[in-house]
Chains A and B, each alone.
Chain A
Amino acid sequence: MKPFAFARPGDVAEAVRTVAAEPAAVFLGGGTNLVDLLKLGVARPDRVVDVRRLTSREITDTDDGGLRIGAAVTNSELAADPRVRERWPVLAQALLAGATGQLRNLATVGGNPLQRTRCVYFTDVSTPCNKREPGSGCSAVGGYTRYHAVLGVPAALPDASAPETCIATHPSDMAVALAVLDARVQVLGPGGARTIPFAELHRLPGDDPSRDTVLEHGELVTAIDLPPLPAGARSAYRKVRDRASYAFALVSVAAVVAGGEVRLALGGVAHRPWRATRAEEVLRGGPPTADAVRGAMAAELAAAQPQPGIDGGNGFKIPLVTRTVVATVRDLTSGVPA
């Protein structure tokens, strides 16, 4: 680990100024991802700016019947909040399906969506990786792809040596729930505050896999706003993983069923939490029967690019995510718990 200076400024504005002023400065939340990456030599900042005691640690009701969640609220606190448990179960379930008790007690709402991919080559500095070292190539192509993307990968790619190739997935569970809930991210940057729809926070690799989100350097997440769900809405998060607990998702599904509407977001399938807008659109036509959902998922997955690789590749994600969506919607509409 390379040495770094540590700062805890007096307030958020100063934190933003401090980071903005220095290209190699970063914010520190709970540290559960950043410190991991510091040790691995993946993150190499000159200055670490602690914001955990600066941003809000409160969850407040908003006028529209939603919640404003301060960036320093821990993942545990958010999952335990009675309002979240009752009205946004998909979010509580997603949080509780992520990591472990002793990680969630440290992890913050600001840091969780900004955690980096778990791609095994990204975290191993001895291998090429476009995300870690732009232009070096992508070791995952043809490698160990069990946890990698099938959606959002251009058909022309992946080419291991192309500088724009990255087939990594975003690992956060909470982010998949926030994507389906149409949450909004409150951001304070050197140029002032702005609000980003959560579904637009994360990006596809495009021509720069090193960037996970649309945040500019120095932009601080100060809060996340949760709009209310329509009355009578039901929601659930279903995570499928290799171990019964303490494992990242192979695939996951966040679903909301409200009146005739079905909202879906998928995890473990793309470089960002994947709002399944195509499937949602198809389902708008009629009742979400199993066949209808299957058809909708076929449309959603039409452009999917299963990745071959050692240990069998990740083609199984196509049937798996389809089955998981079908089951989740079935359980939400039939009243059986998912």
Chain B
Amino acid sequence: MTELLEPRAIGRDMVRRDGEAKVRGTATYAIETPVEDPAYAHPVQATVARGRVTAVDTSAAEALDGVLVVLTPSTAERLASVEDREYAVLQSDEVDFRGQVVALVVAETSEVARQAADAVRITYAEQPHDSTLAVDRDDLYAPEQVNAGHETDTAQGDVAAAMATAHATVEQTYTTAMYHNNPLEPHATTALWDPAADVPLTLWDSTQGVHPSRSAVCGVFGLEEEQVRVVCPFVGGGFGSKGNAHAHVMLATMAARAVPGRPVKLGLTRQQMFTLVGYRTPTIQKLQVAADRTGRLQAIAIDVVEQTSRIKEYAEQTGVPTRMMYASPNRRTTHRLAALDVPVPSWMRAPGECPGMFGPEVALDELADTLGIDPVELRIRNEPGVDPETGKPWSSRNLVQCLREGARRFGWADRPPPLHREGAWLVGTGVASSVYPTMRQATSTAVIRYEDGRYVAEIGAADLGTGAWTVLPQIAADALGVDAEDVEVRIGDTRYPVASVAGGSSGTNTWGSALVVAAREFRTKFGHAPADGDEASGDVDQASTDEDHSAYAFGAQFAEVRVHADTGEIRVPRLYGVFGAGRIINPRTARSQFLGGMTMGLSMALHENSVWDDRIGQVAKHDLAEYHVSVNADVGDMQAHWLDEHDPYVNAMGSKGVGEIGIVGTAAAVVNAVHRATGVRVRDLPVTLDRLLPALP
């Protein structure tokens, strides 16, 4: 049990502190850092998917006015560590995937840098590549563990036996597509290497964590942390793709070191983001579900096949939610990977849960259909009393309440019958559950200082639009027992104490906990009448922890789908989500987070699809005209609600994290609604009109 803060500032609707700067466009993002006389870097990318660079002709590029330097595998500096092959840029002539960086131009202007990059002539010895993901590959392997340290496989009871004897079963394969995070701000780094300075390397990097970014760079270049400063006050979205540094951060650093004293700006193009900054692996999910007559699950199993790159392993934990979501005596989850000649996959909003709640939540809908049980009721009947995976009680679990509250708000009881038609549209409704683990990272430190009559809190946290600039002062204020207006929070700089990555919906939980510890330290040391300059720090690991409960946020999403009877066009006029995500620190920013996740989930359901052209080993549609993300007109009446949840086991704020759960389950709710509208069961995302044409009247 944690002593929950008395909420005064917490729970209040507070306008974003960085809001005015953002609506004016004066908030400064990495590439915009005002620096003296910047040079511009532009990468050259491999045009083969596997092979060797046999020659690099830079003469035409170097002959151009304004070119400062062209870095190639033979001229680039040798890195201190090449262990991480994603980071080992320009260190060998091997080409591991199409789009890998094989040279880098630094020039006086962005126009010349790009022109020179086009003028670099590369010759390859091309080798056959293999980039096709399939369930029947004979080289699939079980990774040692999957992302976030989860076990690769789990098993409990006998799934096969239950499948053979159960009253009803569903056995189907579901797939999710390859997705690219595509934050609106392209990945970018402004780098300055000034060997004479106390801190020789400064990186203004668009990152979800200045400290993790610094660690990555230090490791690769053999620098001490004191030699590097990473600054990032604002991030134009990341959704996981800025959680880890990617190759371009190393390239920017290399470029800066090649022109000492000269700041270098490296902004990736949108097209380059389709190969260099991670993506969500496509997943193939084989589901087996067995139930008795009343809908109680007898077995649930998910066997996942997905891809990683040949040079660096990333194993999406797609099977993980199936381990804890519903009660069932028999259960199996497995993950198998194909290591391909493809770019390195990585985190994307709710890794694991997002794809991993697609197959199961559609399979449950199929089961409900088979049994003639309402899908909301089916989920309620399979509510587990304790965490089926660990046997621990829940810190709080309000899935049933979310389902009921959502059903009430949505008008689920009066939903139209299957294949219902209103004018030109076929109308259907669908439901799915959401879940996301409540996490806190092991490292983060906050400092609180009394300065000029107010409290200043410093921590190297990041605000990706999540609201940290606004929410952290609310937490610090309650921890100190003062008004939020009396607290200034400084984030986004390695000059401030170490902070964990903004990922896993753990940022606020982690940094907030450190702030609470620091505030308590502060009050213990200095009481309520501190002197100017009084300062205390707190580490998240001093915050009380709870090992005895399983902590997750839950939710339920309800979709109304309309399918045009003539053309099959799909619209989602209503999408409601109800979440149990602990205490909501700022309803304004939290609502935006939930809605943002749901919007991305809608986008995943209907639009997003990095169509892979395995003939050449690249995404066929690698820009925002082709890789569709939902636009404003795709969103109708979208609402996010939450339960008033009081969870004393998670942390001092009682918060569970709101950044990711909104994208979990959305796609399943949409395709379940499509099925009700048209009778077409879509098991492969995205659902597009061509799949529905054959079933239209």
Contacts and interface: CB of A to CB of B under 8 A. Distances in A.
Interface of A: 1-3, 41, 118, 120, 123-124, 126-127, 139, 142-144, 146, 240-248, 250, 310-312, 316, 319-320, 323-324, 326-327
Q: Is the interface of B mostly helix, strand, loop or mixed?
A: loop
B644 to A, nearest CB: 35
Contact of B616 (A123, A139, A311): A139
B689 A310 contact: no
Given A3-B115, A120-B626, A244 B631 contact: yes
A144 B566 contact: no
Given A242-B628, A310-B612, A316 B620 contact: no
A245 B631 contact: yes
B111 A1 contact: yes
B689 A143 contact: no
A143 B620 contact: yes
A85 B617 CA distance: 47
26 contacts: A1-B111, A118-B626, A120-B620, A120-B621, A126-B47, A142-B615, A143-B613, A143-B620, A240-B567, A241-B569, A242-B607, A243-B607, A243-B628, A243-B630, A244-B633, A245-B631, A246-B631, A310-B614, A311-B611, A316-B689, A319-B693, A319-B694, A320-B568, A320-B690, A323-B693, A327-B567
- The 4 A-B residue pairs whose C-beta atoms are closest, nearest first, are A316-B690, A144-B620, A327-B566, A244-B633
Contacts of B633: 243-246
Nearest to B628: A243
B180 interface: no
B426 to A, nearest CB: 14
A310 B620 contact: yes
B175 to A, nearest CB: 12
A1 B566 CA distance: 44
A118 B625 contact: yes
Contacts, number: 85
B696 interface: yes
B693 A316 contact: yes
Contact of A41 (B118, B609, B615): B118
A142 B688 CA distance: 20
A61 B47 CA distance: 53
B319 to A, nearest CB: 26
B696 A245 contact: no
B615 A312 contact: no
A246 B624 CA distance: 10
Interface in B371-404: none
Nearest to B98: A126
Interface of B: 47, 111, 114-115, 118, 566-569, 571, 606-607, 609, 611-616, 620-623, 625-626, 628, 630-634, 688-690, 693-694, 696
Nearest to B694: A319
B382 to A, nearest CB: 35
Given A144-B620, A311-B609, A244 B571 contact: yes
Nearest to A139: B616
Contacts of B622: 120, 124
Given A120-B626, A126-B47, A245-B631, A144 B571 contact: no
Nearest to A144: B620
Contacts of B566: 323-324, 326-327
A126 B117 CA distance: 13
A34 to B, nearest CB: 16
B114 A1 contact: yes
A241 B690 CA distance: 11
A320 B118 contact: no
A1 B109 CA distance: 12
A144 B621 contact: yes
Contacts of A327: 566-567
Nearest to A330: B566
Given A310-B613, A312-B690, A243 B567 contact: no
A320 B609 CA distance: 21
A250 B633 CA distance: 18
A246 B620 CA distance: 19
B605 to A, nearest CB: 12
A57 B158 CA distance: 76
A326 B697 CA distance: 13
Q: Which of B566, B607, B623, B625 has the most CB of A within 10 A?
A: B566
A224 B370 CA distance: 60
B631 A243 contact: yes
A244 B115 CA distance: 36
A117 to B, nearest CB: 12
Q: Which of B114, B613, B614 has the most CB of A within 10 A?
A: B613
Given A245-B632, A311-B611, A1 B620 contact: no
Q: Which of B47, B111, B620 has the most CB of A within 10 A?
A: B620
Nearest to A2: B115
Contacts of A246: 631, 633
A118 B626 CA distance: 9
Given A144-B611, A316-B689, A320-B693, 6 more contacts: A127-B616, A244-B571, A316-B693, A319-B693, A323-B693, A324-B566
A331 B567 CA distance: 14
A241 B626 CA distance: 12
B567 A323 contact: yes
Contact of A2 (B118, B567, B609, B632): B118
A310 B611 contact: yes
B613 A144 contact: yes
A188 B628 CA distance: 39
Nearest to A99: B625
Contacts of A127: 616
Contacts of B696: 323
Nearest to B111: A1
A294 to B, nearest CB: 12
Nearest to B614: A310
A242 B688 contact: yes
A306 B321 CA distance: 41
Given A310-B612, A311-B609, A240 B620 contact: no
A324 B607 contact: no
A123 B624 CA distance: 13
Contacts of B569: 240-241
A142 B632 CA distance: 33
Contacts of A326: 566
A125 B237 CA distance: 29
Contacts of B118: 1-2, 41
A163 to B, nearest CB: 19
Nearest to B612: A310
Contact of A324 (B567, B613, B623, B688): B567
A240 B622 CA distance: 22
Contacts of B688: 242
Contacts of B611: 144, 146, 310-311
B380 to A, nearest CB: 34
Contacts of A142: 615
A292 to B, nearest CB: 17
B282 to A, nearest CB: 12
B103 to A, nearest CB: 14
Nearest to A324: B567
Given A143-B620, A323-B566, A244 B634 contact: yes
A329 to B, nearest CB: 11
A90 B650 CA distance: 60
A324 B689 CA distance: 13
